[in-house]
A and B are shown apart, each in its own frame.
Chain A
Amino acid sequence: MTVSKHMATRWTHVLPLALAVAVGLPLSLPAQSRRSLPEGPGREIVQRVCGSTCHGAELVAGKGYTRDSWGAVVNSMVSRGAKASDTELTEIVNYLATNLPPKTGAAGAGGAGFLGGGSDEAQMVDVAAAERGRTVYIAECITCHGVKARGGPRGADLIRSMIVLKDRYGSMLGAFLKAGHPMQSGKPSSSLTGPQIVELSHFLHEKVGDTLRNGPYSKPINVLTGNAKDGAAYFNGAGGCNQCHSVTGDLAGVGEKYDPVSLQQKFLFPRTFATPRGGTRGHVPPVVVTVTVTPASGPSVTGVLSHLDDFNVSLRDSEGNYFTWKRTPSLQVVKHDPLAMHEKLLDQYTDKNMHDIVAYLETLK
Chain B
Amino acid sequence: MNTRLIVGCLALSTTAALAQLDPAKLAQAPTDSWPTHNGDFSGRRFSPLTNINSNNVSSLSLAWVHRVNAQGNAIFGGAIKASPVVIDGVMYFTIPDHVWAVDARTGHEIWHYTWPSHGGIHIGNRGVSAYGRWLYFETPDCNLVSLNMKDGKERWHKQICDLDQMYFASAAPLVVGNHVVAGVSGDDLDIPGYIESHDPETGDRQWRWYVYPEEGSEAAKSWPSVDAMKHGGGMTWSTPTYDPALNLIYFGTGNPQPVIAGKGREGNNLYTESIVALNPDNGKFRWAFQSSPHDTHDWDAIQTPVLIDGTIDGKPRKLLAQAARNGYFFVIDRETGKNISSTKFARANWSEGLDKLGQPIPNPAKMPQPDGALVSPNQAGAANWPQPSFSPKTGLFYINATNAYSVYYIYDNDEKPEGWGGNDRGGYSESMLEGIDYQTGKVKWSHKWEGPGGPRSGVLATAGNIVFAGDMQNNFVALNSTTGEPLWHVGLNSGITNAPISYELDGTQYVVLACGDTVYAFAMFAK
Contact = CB atoms under 8 A, between A and B. Distances in A.
Interface of A: 1-10, 35, 47, 51-59, 72, 75-76, 78-83, 110-111, 113-122, 148, 150, 157, 159-160, 162, 165-166, 208, 211-213, 215, 217-226, 261, 264-265, 268-269, 271-272, 307-311, 342-343, 346-347, 349, 351, 354-355
A57 B75 CA distance: 11
Nearest to B231: A160
A82 B453 CA distance: 7
A218 B411 contact: yes
Contacts of B372: 220, 223, 264, 351, 354-355
Contacts of B186: 117
8 contacts: A1-B110, A54-B497, A75-B427, A113-B188, A120-B117, A220-B371, A226-B371, A269-B426
Contacts of B486: 310-311
Interface string B74-114: 10111100000000000000000000000000000111111
Given A114-B188, A148-B414, A221-B410, A53 B494 contact: yes
B117 A8 contact: yes
A342 B452 CA distance: 14
A137 B439 CA distance: 61
A192 to B, nearest CB: 23
Nearest to A79: B427
Nearest to A220: B409
Given A59-B123, A308-B450, A113 B112 contact: no
Contacts of B178: none
B188 A343 contact: no
Determine the main DSSP class of A at the interface with B: loop
Nearest to B412: A217
A59 B407 CA distance: 24
Interface of B: 74, 76-79, 109-124, 141, 151-154, 163-166, 168, 186, 188-190, 227, 231, 347, 365, 369-374, 376, 378-380, 404-407, 409-414, 416, 418-421, 423-430, 449-456, 471-473, 475, 477, 486, 489, 494-495, 497, 515-517
Given A53-B456, A113-B188, A115-B121, A76 B163 contact: no
Contact of A58 (B78, B420, B472): B78
Contacts of A159: 189, 418
Nearest to A48: B494
A111 B413 CA distance: 27
A79 B107 CA distance: 35
Contact of A8 (B116, B153, B452): B116
Contacts, number: 272
A49 B152 CA distance: 33
Determine the main DSSP class of B at the interface with A: loop
B374 A349 contact: yes
Contacts of B369: 351
B166 A113 contact: yes
A346 B338 CA distance: 35
Query: Taking each of A4, A269, A349, which has the highest tally of chain B beta carbons within 10 Å of its own beta carbon?
Result: A4
A163 to B, nearest CB: 11
A75 B114 CA distance: 34
Contact of A220 (B111, B370, B406): B370
A111 B426 CA distance: 26
Given A51-B74, A116-B119, 7 more contacts: A53-B497, A81-B453, A113-B188, A212-B420, A268-B407, A269-B426, A311-B486
A351 B189 contact: no
B472 A166 contact: no
Contacts of A223: 370-372, 409
Nearest to A146: B416
Contacts of B115: 4
Nearest to A221: B370
A307 B473 contact: yes
Given A4-B113, A56-B79, A165-B164, A211 B497 contact: no
A310 B374 contact: no
Contacts of A157: 227
B524 to A, nearest CB: 20
Contact of A150 (B110, B416, B454, B475): B416
Contacts of A59: 77-78, 121-123
Given A35-B122, A55-B124, A117 B419 contact: no
B407 A111 contact: no
Given A218-B411, A223-B371, A310 B141 contact: no
A279 B414 CA distance: 31
A80 B405 contact: no
Nearest to B404: A79
B79 A76 contact: no
Nearest to A355: B371
B188 A212 contact: yes
B453 A119 contact: no
A218 B151 CA distance: 47
A225 B410 CA distance: 14
A1 B111 contact: yes
B119 A110 contact: yes
Contacts of A208: 189
A26 B392 CA distance: 57
A225 B164 CA distance: 40
Contacts of B117: 8, 120
A228 to B, nearest CB: 14
Contacts of A221: 370-371, 409-411, 413
A52 B79 contact: yes
A65 B173 CA distance: 34
B418 to A, nearest CB: 5
Given A76-B425, A213-B188, A354-B372, A310 B450 contact: yes
Nearest to A349: B374
Query: Taking each of B453, B455, B471, which has the highest tally of chain A beta carbons within 10 Å of its own beta carbon?
Result: B453
Contacts of A118: 119-120, 163-164, 166, 188
B411 A220 contact: yes
A196 B347 CA distance: 54
